[in-house]
Amino acid sequence: MTLSGTQTPTRHRYWIAVMLFITVVINYLDRSNISTTVVAMKQEFGMDNGQMGLVLSAFGWTYALGQIPGGWLVDRMTPRVFYPILLVLWSLATLSMSFVGTLSSFFFLRALVGALEAPSYSINNQVVSSWFPNKERASAVGFFISAQFIGPAFLTGLLFWLEANYGWRSVFYATGALGLAWGILWYFLYRGPRESRLANQAEIEEIKAGGALVDFGAADRKMPAVFKWDDIATVFKYKKLWGVYLGQFAITSSQFFFLTWFPTYLMEYRHLSNLKTGIYASIPFMGAFFGALCSGFVSDFMLRRGFSLSTARKTPIITGLLISSVIIVANYVESTEIAVLFFTIALFGNGLASIGWSLISSVAPQRLIGLTGGAFNGVSNLSGIVTPTIIGYLAINGNFAPGLAYIAVVALLGVCSYVFLIGKLEPVEK
């Protein structure tokens, strides 16, 4: 048998990154699909923007509240088993939205999707932390984060076409069926580093030496002790962790505007047709896609060139949040095309700032990475409640300008969080 020291390491982890990419595309399709159906649903159910904002926030309530229990479960279950269970269940809930006949039933199913998707990014972080060494981790995070913009960037037009030709319910049928199929495939395709037959021992030793937590998520790893309230207190008592949490809240606030209200803004505030809305709504997400790709690769490049971990990770995020704040300029231009240009620049910045997950394994107590990830995603995704609701009520008379100002201010507050609260990137507990 060939010794691992003389083997050429395989590169199976890159296939793992592709699997995460596909999963995140589906994940974000199932949370953003509603944005293409808002106008039709308002007409069918007789709602104004304020009421619709509450419906759009249903996902955010359960998604945010599910982060802590979801992170706790991630520390105790393997990605091979837990992810397909969640994928299948949230896809069935999405598919069921195409059959409901009452607003309350739709609200319940939308909230159920939020609860079931809650652990997903903690699982993504678990997979990346176990498969990728430090020098590649931001690139891997940036790659799978970029996938969240693929659906809105390249599939929004298709969803509008489905809605126009087959009704708004067809959007939920199609996206739910896609997730159901991928959930089954994930179970048969994914293995952790220790269980994989496609990654040789040389690759496992290489990534472990580079800082990959190859036993994180392994089927035979020692599980954490039973639930303790002290662990909850731990992930909320450090200023450093709050800096990461609040910074991510700023990032996701902008995302939730685009994932919920942006097509309605184009149709009702800019008076675009259904077809033009489908085209124009997708353009800013292309900027976000390239921003997210640049973010991870730039961060890892800086790390390889000798910059400190803190500088390499925080620089793209702070720069991206500053760029995100230019969204307010759209309030001062008459041309819809110029406004969309500034939306694209702003969402490029948002993509550039989107590697916050790469910080979790650097600052969290190692025994509580999943729980810390849950707290991180829980606080940040309170924006899924706050953003749709605030913008819905600010725009109750059809004026979206105050909502864009709100997004710009929150982005600048995110910059302050990274500059003044986080400090050096190192675990809060050794």
| Residue 33, domain member (yes or no) | yes
C-alpha angle with apex 347: 342 to 349, nearest 5 degrees? 100
- Note the pLDDT of residue 1: 39
- Note the pLDDT of residue 343: 95
Residue count (the chain): 430
- Note the pLDDT of residue 409: 95
Q: What is the C-alpha separation between 309 and 138, in angstroms, rounded? A: 11
Whose CA is closest to 218, among 189, 195, 202? 195
| Residue 428, domain member (yes or no) | no
Q: Which residue type occupies 294?
A: C
Please state the domain count of the chain: 1
For 370-408, give one letter per residue: b (16+ CB within 10 A) or e. bbbbbbbbbbbbbbbbbbbbbbbebbeeeebeebbebbb
- Note the pLDDT of residue 224: 54
Q: What phi, psi does 384 have (nearest 5°)?
A: -70, -20
Q: What phi, psi does 10 have (nearest 5°)?
A: -70, 175
Whose CA is closest to 175, among 189, 162, 190, 188? 162
DSSP state of 299: H
Query: Is 24:88 a contact under the CB 8 Å cutoff?
Result: no
- Note the pLDDT of residue 335: 92
Residue 23 token pair:
């999963």
Contacts for 225-234 with beta carbons within 8 Å, 24 or more apart? 227/72, 231/368, 231/371, 232/68, 232/371, 234/365, 234/368, 234/428, 234/429
| Residue 304, domain member (yes or no) | yes
DSSP state of 97: T
Evaluate the CA torsion angle 97, 98, 99, 102 in order and state its sign: positive
| Residue 430, domain member (yes or no) | no
| Residue 31, domain member (yes or no) | yes
Domain that holds residue 14: 10-422
| Residue 155, domain member (yes or no) | yes
- Note the pLDDT of residue 223: 56
- Note the pLDDT of residue 3: 44
| Residue 5, domain member (yes or no) | no
| Residue 429, domain member (yes or no) | no
* Ranges under pLDDT 70 in the chain: 1-5, 216-227, 429-430
- Note the pLDDT of residue 321: 95
Instruction: Tell me the CATH number at 258.
Output: 1.20.1250.20
For 345-380, the DSSP string reads HHHHHHHHT--THHHHHHHS-GGGHHHHHHHHHHHH
